[in-house]
Amino acid sequence: NVAVLGAGLMGAGIAHVSIDKGYNVILRDMTSKALSRGYTQISKGYQNYVKRKRITTAEYDNILSNLECQTTLANFGKCDMIIEAVFEDL
């Protein structure tokens, strides 16, 4: 199990690669809006796989079932690795 803190471009990319490798992924961000953008980025990537016939629709559904999006730190205790990919506002 992998958790990714930050659902921006980099966090969503890390989550996507982790899902590709068979991990269950928790994607966490501060707001639902940010989580939605990250989920959409990941989902579109897999939709392209379906269009190119790299995966089936059933595989698409199964793959995305390995992704959990949340705004809390719930279930982080179950994770083997936590990756921080938070936007830095200096």
Going from the C-alpha of 68 to that of each of 39, 52, 54, the distances in angstroms are 9, 25, 23
Beta bridge partners of 28: 5, 70
**Local confidence band at 90 (pLDDT 50, 70, 90 cut-offs):** low
**Local confidence band at 85 (pLDDT 50, 70, 90 cut-offs):** very high
pLDDT number for residue 88: 77
- CATH fold, domain 2-84, is Rossmann fold (3.40.50)
How far apart CA 67 and CA 63 sit, in angstroms, is: 8
Sheet holding 81-84, edge to edge: 67-70, 25-28, 2-5, 81-84
How far apart CA 60 and CA 43 sit, in angstroms, is: 9
* Domain boundaries, given as residue ranges, for the chain: 2-84
pLDDT number for residue 87: 81
**pLDDT over 90 at 15, yes or no:** yes
- What pTM was estimated for this model as a whole? 0.90
